[in-house]
């Protein structure tokens, strides 16, 4: 069940009403069980068999974390989610890669990739590792741990919520309240707008160009690459906003997953602003255990590169994703090598933003392309100033204008607050006023009427 569907709207209303009734008449325990059942229903709506896999990962984390002091069991606790992820997501990729190396077709298995597997296996790992590191205590309550791993707002496409952030919330008295709901529902509307109005319309154009790049004019290809950079940002950050808003309506808080990534002045900053929950996870559970920056410069570069390669692989079982990760890893290493100015003037900042955005757009080509030939066709089309179909796609310009307006708004807001670091913000209105309500319902009307009605799943579902 996608967030952008009538089915989810009904589900969400039922969950909110159910939680309201339960918190009024029943204990917190009943609410936890109710939310757990709702989350499994949400997940099973795609394919009920997926629920057993989720339960298996939960059981393994639950029991292995209990024996954190026994090294063998701790390792099992780490290995099981990795095996689950490796088998379902990477086994066929492995077979195909070996086949091409040995020149003999080994065939592939008919494996369905369970939705959200990359997200909940990472959460399971974070729980086991955090318990071992004694950042959190062992969770004796199976229902709570199961709810943490399956909580439907973040289950299928993140954000990757760390156990240390969420389990304590489950122990607190969190409630559906008018204030939470008013805030959460606006985040959901904002996310929905990004997803079904902007990202989905852009996908039409991006798909057309990436399907047959050789048919298009170079300027159209450039526009398509820019459009994709906005599509993936609005698609994924839109999903995150809906997830954060949804959790907020139920009384829970998730951290922000995106923070104006395209105003980054270098790649390091980009990765602090893009998919924050993943980059934080990779830093804490991969980069730092590899040695981080504690073992000298060369080792730091190697660690960074490996982290980004694996980060690329996490996104999808394809060499284009690995290459994309590698490019970002390389850029991070180069960025670390370049000495930084202490005080940057406006010109330096603007140049930094333009160069970083151009580089990131270049890497998105590999991220979006079906294969290297496809990516090469895109690059060749641009650099050879290819002639072809011109398609000045209107939604791409609408998206660019909206992005620029919101970014300028964020810069002005940060400037007013005398913040050095520009932070994103949600355009939240006061729903207790007529003005606020009018704005809210106008936005809802815009969302429904401008929505793309074709089928377009969230980009990050595939990961």
Partner 1 sequence: MILNVIFSFYFNPPTSDKEYEKSSFLVTPFKYEPMERFTYALEGHGHGRVNNDGYINVEDYDSNKEVNILMVGSSQFEAFQVDIKNSVTYRLNELLKNKFVYNIGVSGNAFPESITNIAPAIIKYKPTDYIILEMSDVKYSDQELSKVLEEEDNKKDSESSSGSKSVKNNNVIRKFYRNSSFLRLLWRKLEELTDNREANLPEAKEEFNEKLTGEVLNKIRTIVENKVKVIIVYHPSVSLESDGNLILLNNENVEKFSKLCTENGIYFLDMSDRFSAEYKKNNILPYGFSNTSVGKGHLNKYGHEMIAEELYKLIKEEK
> Hey, which residues are catalytic here?
315
| Distance in Å, CB of 215 to partner 1, minimum | 4
| Distance in Å, CB of 433 to partner 1, minimum | 16
Q: What whole-number distance in Å separates Cα of residue 417 and Cα of residue 425? A: 13
**Number of neighbours of residue 409 by Cβ within 10 angstroms:** 13
- Preceding peptide of 159 cis, ω within 30°: yes
Closer by beta carbon to partner 1, 155 or else 382: 382
- Residues near partner 1, by CB under 8 A: 6, 201, 204-205, 207-208, 211-212, 214-215, 217, 387-395, 438, 442, 445-446, 448-449, 451, 453-455
* Listed residue (260, 216, 249) closest to 374, CA to CA: 216
| Distance in Å, CB of 165 to partner 1, minimum | 36
Q: Assess contact for 353 and 265: CB atoms under 8 A.
A: yes
- Dihedrals φ, ψ of 133, to 5°? -80, 0
| Distance in Å, CB of 153 to partner 1, minimum | 23
* Listed residue (312, 350, 316) closest to 328, CA to CA: 312
Closer by beta carbon to partner 1, 85 or else 197: 197
Closer by beta carbon to partner 1, 144 or else 201: 201
Place of tokens 């980069």: 287
| Distance in Å, CB of 434 to partner 1, minimum | 13
Closer by beta carbon to partner 1, 194 or else 201: 201
Return all residues near 416 (Cβ < 8 A) that are at least 6 apart.
none
Return all residues near 246 (Cβ < 8 A) that are at least 6 apart.
3, 12, 152, 153, 184, 188
Place of tokens 């974390």: 65
Closer by beta carbon to partner 1, 334 or else 394: 394
* Listed residue (225, 260, 227, 234) closest to 362, CA to CA: 225
Residue 330 token pair? 């390389």
| Distance in Å, CB of 455 to partner 1, minimum | 6
Helix and strand counts by DSSP (H, E) for the chain: 21, 0
| Distance in Å, CB of 205 to partner 1, minimum | 8
Which DSSP string do the residues of 9-59 spell out, in sequence order?
A: HHHHHHHHHHHHHHHHHS-HHHHHHHHHHHHHHHHHTT-HHHHHHHHHHHH
Closer by beta carbon to partner 1, 71 or else 387: 387
Return all residues near 344 (Cβ < 8 A) that are at least 6 apart.
265, 352
Closer by beta carbon to partner 1, 27 or else 373: 373
| SS3 label, residue 389 | strand
- Dihedrals φ, ψ of 389, to 5°? -70, 130
Distances (CA, A) of 139 to 16, 65, 254, 284, 406: 26, 8, 20, 21, 41
Q: How far apart are the first and last CA of the chain?
A: 16
Question: H or E segment at 302?
Answer: helix 297-315
Closer by beta carbon to partner 1, 82 or else 394: 394
| Distance in Å, CB of 353 to partner 1, minimum | 28
């Amino acid at each position: 069940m996608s967030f952008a569907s009538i089915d989810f709207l009904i589900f969400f209303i039922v969950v909110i009403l159910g939680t309201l009734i339960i918190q009024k008449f029943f204990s917190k325990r009943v609410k936890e069980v109710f939310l757990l059942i709702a989350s499994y229903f949400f997940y099973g709506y795609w394919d009920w068999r997926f629920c057993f896999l989720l339960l298996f990962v939960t059981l393994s984390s639950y029991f292995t974390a209990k024996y954190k002091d026994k090294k063998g069991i701790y390792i099992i606790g780490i290995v099981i989610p990795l095996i689950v992820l490796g088998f379902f997501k990477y086994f066929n990729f492995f077979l195909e890669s070996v086949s091409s190396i040995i020149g003999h077709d080994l065939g592939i298995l008919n494996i369905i990739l369970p939705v959200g597997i990359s997200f909940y296996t990472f959460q399971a790992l974070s729980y086991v590792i955090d318990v071992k590191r004694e950042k959190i205590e062992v969770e004796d309550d199976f229902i709570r741990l199961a709810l943490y791993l399956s909580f439907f707002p973040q289950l299928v496409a993140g954000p990757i919520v760390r156990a240390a952030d969420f389990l304590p919330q489950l122990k607190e008295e969190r409630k559906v309240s008018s204030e939470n709901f008013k805030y959460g529902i606006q985040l959901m509307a904002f996310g929905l707008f990004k997803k079904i109005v902007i990202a989905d319309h852009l996908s039409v154009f991006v798909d057309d160009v990436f399907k047959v790049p050789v048919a298009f004019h170079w300027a159209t290809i450039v526009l398509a690459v820019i459009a994709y950079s906005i599509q993936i940002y609005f698609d994924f950050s839109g999903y995150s906003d809906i997830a954060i808003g949804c959790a907020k309506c139920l009384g829970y808080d998730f951290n922000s997953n995106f923070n104006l990534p395209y105003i980054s002045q270098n790649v390091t900053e980009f990765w602090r602003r893009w998919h924050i929950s993943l980059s934080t996870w990779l830093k804490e559970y991969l980069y730092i255990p590899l040695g981080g920056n504690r073992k000298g410069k060369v080792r730091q570069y190697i660690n960074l590169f490996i982290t980004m390669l694996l980060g690329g692989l996490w996104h999808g079982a394809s060499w284009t994703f690995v290459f994309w990760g590698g490019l970002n890893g390389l850029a991070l290493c180069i960025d670390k090598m370049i000495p930084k100015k202490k005080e940057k003037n406006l010109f330096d900042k603007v140049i930094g933003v333009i160069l970083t955005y151009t580089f990131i757009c270049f890497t998105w080509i590999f991220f979006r392309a079906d294969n290297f030939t496809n990516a090469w066709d895109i690059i060749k089309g641009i650099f050879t100033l290819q002639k072809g179909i011109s398609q000045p796609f209107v939604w791409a310009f609408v998206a660019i204008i909206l992005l620029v307006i919101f970014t300028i708004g964020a810069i002005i807001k940060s400037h007013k607050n005398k913040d050095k670091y520009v932070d994103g913000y949600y355009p939240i209105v006061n729903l207790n006023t007529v003005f606020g309500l009018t704005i809210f319902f106008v936005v809802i009307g815009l969302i429904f009427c401008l929505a793309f009605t074709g089928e377009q799943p969230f980009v990050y579902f595939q990961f």
